[in-house]
Amino acid sequence: MNRPTVCTVVSCGETKQDLPAGETVPARELYDSSVHPCKDRYARHSEAYYIMSAEYGLVRHDTELAYYDRSLDELPEAGVRAWSHDVARDLERVLSDGEFDAVVLIGSETYVGALRSHFDRLPAAVLTPWQTNDDVTGVGRGMSWCNDESRWPENIDSLEEIGEVVSPAPREV
């Protein structure tokens, strides 16, 4: 049996490094909240790792980013819809090009929920462990979930070991 190929997408963080104007860092290093290192640790054990940024949309973890101050919580409903459409379109392309079996979305309900209406168009199974795992009842337990090496994509034999499949990938007929 082949191990499933997994792309992990984590939400950005509200707190960020205070960078001088014009300076950039890799996206995964920009966010400095207490929860981001756990999401980062999990995602680095996937075949691909992206961040859903309120400012930049879907970005690879190593994309150079400058400081920004934007959150989906601050955007009007139309802005969130436009953001989710763009992120879903880009994620659809990433998943198709990489021939992934699944995408794991790790983040708050604000970010994951904004994408929910697009799940059925993604060409891979969608897993949202922070929203569907009964053990994850808060940020601390979400951090613990991410730090559990048995759930890391490189250590699993089936998607069910990560969590509930929310939206199965479309099947060829």
pTM higher than the cut 0.85: yes
Q: What is the C-alpha to C-alpha distance for residues 133 and 137, in angstroms, rounded to an integer?
A: 8
pLDDT digits (tens, 9 = 90+) for 81-117: 999 999 999 999 999 999 999 999 999 899 999 999 9
Give me the pLDDT at residue 140, please.
Answer: 80
Cα separation values, 66 from 21, 23, 35, 87, 162, Å: 8, 6, 20, 19, 32
Partner residues linked to 9 by β-bridges = 50, 105
Write down all domains in the chain, each with its CATH number in brackets.
6-167 (3.40.50)
Helix ranges (H only) for the chain are 27-30, 36-43, 77-98, 109-115, 129-132, 139-147
